[in-house]
Amino acid sequence: MHWAHKDLLDVSDLSTGDVERIFEAADSFLEINRRPVKKVPTLKGRSVVLFFAEPSTRTKTSFDMAAKRLSADSFSLSKSMSSLTKGESLKDTVLTLQAMNPDAIVMRHGVSGAAQFIAERLNCSVINAGDGWHAHPTQALLDAVTLRRAWSGDFGGKTLLILGDIAHSRVARSNVNLLTRLGVNVRLCAPRTLLPPKVETWPVEVYSDLNKAVKDVDAVMCLRLQLERQQDGLLPSLREYSREYGLGKRHLLNAHGGAVVLHPGPINRGVEIASELADMGESLILDQVESGVATRMALLFLFLTRKDQGGERV
């Protein structure tokens, strides 16, 4: 079965069958990543541009490692190193990159819709590595790969709590979209100032009391608190936020036995999650990082070989 998609802008682009195919490919690449020799020739001769207009450690390094382990050539470009700082438009910057004939551009940008803007103008594949508050599809996919492993492949009937700054989180939006479609019951918990408008229309349960929200859940995903939100007046103080919404060991006592903890990083230890909890056996934070490389290998493989498989541009 060919891969029909040219671009990955959000998880809503993917059917359930597409997601299952990504899971299967990620499983295969996860096994390769655990071998003594981790490099395969699958994408030899292909090239990937990593264009990150926002700072990133995990996502950028993960994509870079994924490309190199598939033997693709990867090239990194940041906003500060590009002609954007000289006043060049985003359109002209990416058209210049395309003229060098890469097979894919992986882009992170602070403006929602930036990935779609360039995807509509480029012939090569565009993979959204996070745009504004809109979407972070590869994070949602790697989170699902991580939970699938923890739950032995069974999402049905499981309950996940997403805790923290929901309003400004592209990770929360993409995870709600994907995990609810896979059958996970998703809860959100945050101060009312950090909940998005019209959250009541989302397919989730919404809480402002962490003690109630965590009851009988199978997993908790903490979100990074952007510290500038305190300056924006959305938080009374970090100490009060940590006291009311910082996840600690005591909260997991009300969750289901074997409940696990996730965090997309970077972590503010002692603010959104207790430091000891981040390092405990229930923490899947480093498993997420491992799944991230395998998931991005799967995505690069599927998108960069779509023409070899007879795929159509959509």
Which residue ranges make up the annotated binding site? 58-59, 86, 108, 136, 139, 170, 224, 265-266
Q: Is 125 helix (H, G, I), strand (E, B) or coil?
A: strand
CB 100 within 8 A of CB 116: no
**Given the structure tokens 């990416």, which residue do they identify?**
94
For the annotated binding site for carbamoyl phosphate, the residues are 58-59, 108, 136, 139, 265-266
For the annotated binding site for L-aspartate, the residues are 86, 170, 224
Amino acid identity of 85?
A: T
* Rounded CA separation 206/70 (Å): 41
* Residues whose CB is less than 8 angstroms from the CB of residue 204 and which lie 6 or more positions away in sequence, other chains included: 176, 180, 186, 187, 188
Q: Is 187 helix (H, G, I), strand (E, B) or coil?
A: strand
* Rounded CA separation 51/80 (Å): 11
* Rounded CA separation 42/68 (Å): 10
Helices (DSSP H) in 34-132: which residue ranges? 58-69, 90-98, 114-119
> Which stretches does DSSP call E strand in the chain?
47-52, 73-78, 104-109, 125-131, 159-163, 185-189, 205-207, 219-222, 260-262
